[in-house]
Amino acid sequence: MLRFLLRRVALALVTLWVLSVIIFLASHALPGDVGRRILGPFADPRAVATLDHSLGVDRPLLVQYLTWIGGFVHGDLGMSLSFHVPVSQLLLRGLGNSVKLAAVAFVIVVPLSIFGGIVAALRRGRLLDRIITVGGLSATAMPEFVTSIVLILVLSISLKVLPISVQVPPDADPLTQIYHLILPSLPLVLVLFGYIARITRAGMIEALESDYTRTAVLKGLPWRTVVIRHVLRNALMPTIAVVATQTGYLIGGLVVIETMFNYQGIGQLLFTAVSQKDFPLIQAGVMTVGIVYLGATLLADISYSLLNPRIRLAGRE
């Protein structure tokens, strides 16, 4: 198991290094001059030149990369070019907000969709199965900005049951914070429910039709025991992989929802950074999302290998 873990961590580090090179080159390939982005198109060229020089963006690319990656490895993410504050300060707040939103969405959507998938599989071909699969797929197909606006109009403006304001005072108690996060979580739930439920349903059906399930039933085990101890353990493996891969999306990919609800998560922060050509913020932001994504994938691999020993032993063969 340790060897398996070390191999996965080493692979993750190589992936991060490749990501650092790609994001560095990609952010510098964005059109336009940093100083002009900050000062605006009508700024005096002399002002743009002095600003570019003071920011160090007129140095050779290799020097800039080595300076940045050296600082990153030592935990120094640099200063935001646009906002003149440490990148870490902006990222920590954005990441914290994104994690809160993702956590609320996860707590709602994961049990709900797994339960939905199990019920659909156990009621395969019946009305409930159709409602869950077709309804879930329809919800997934709807763009987030559409569901967001509809939910805001219905729940916040017309019925006034949920607040539109997502940001609460920092000293607000956890329940108040969760209450304010329910509305922006709902579009996420709608997006993810159908996907996770269908994967769970497919895994369940495959497991239900397998030989070991038939054997367990023929052994005379109660149906409830068969489902919980034999079917679910195998059926949920694809679901775990899917949920883990959605973590990156939930942490760093919610630009639309964060914008619609004016929520200062890492997705909106990255969007602002790209539009401002704020290199340190773009690079550190993408690396952070990458780390979160790889971390989640690693956790999924570990869970997967614990559930299925063939995975962790495969490397020895």
Long-range contacts of range 73-77, CB-CB < 8 Å, 24 or more positions apart?
Answer: 77/280, 77/284
Helices of type H across 40-86: 45-55, 61-73
Residue 231 DSSP code: I
Task: With beta carbons less than 8 A apart as the criterion, state whether 237 and 307 touch.
Answer: yes
Q: How far is the CB of 260 from another protein (least distance, A)?
A: 5
- What's the N-to-C CA distance of the chain in angstroms? 14
Residue 186 Cβ, how far from another protein at the closest point, in Å?
Answer: 15
Q: Which is nearer to another protein, 251 or 260 (CB)?
A: 260
Q: Which is nearer to another protein, 19 or 286 (CB)?
A: 286
Residue 92 touches another protein, criterion: CB under 8 A: no
| Cα separation values, 138 from 34, 48, 70, 142, Å | 43, 50, 47, 7
Candidates 58, 115, 167, 172: give the one binding another protein (CB under 8 A).
167
What's the gap between Cα 161 and its chain centre? 27
Give whichever of 160 and 310 is closer to another protein, judged by the CB atom.
160
Is 36 one of the binding residues for another protein (CB under 8 A)?
A: yes
Q: Among 233, 275, 299, 306, indicate the residue that binds another protein (CB under 8 A).
A: 275
List 5, 16, 30, 202, residue binding another protein (CB under 8 A): 30
* Contacting positions for another protein (CB under 8 A): 30-33, 35-47, 50-51, 54, 82-85, 89-90, 93, 149, 152-153, 156-157, 160, 163-165, 167, 259-262, 264, 268-269, 271-272, 275-277
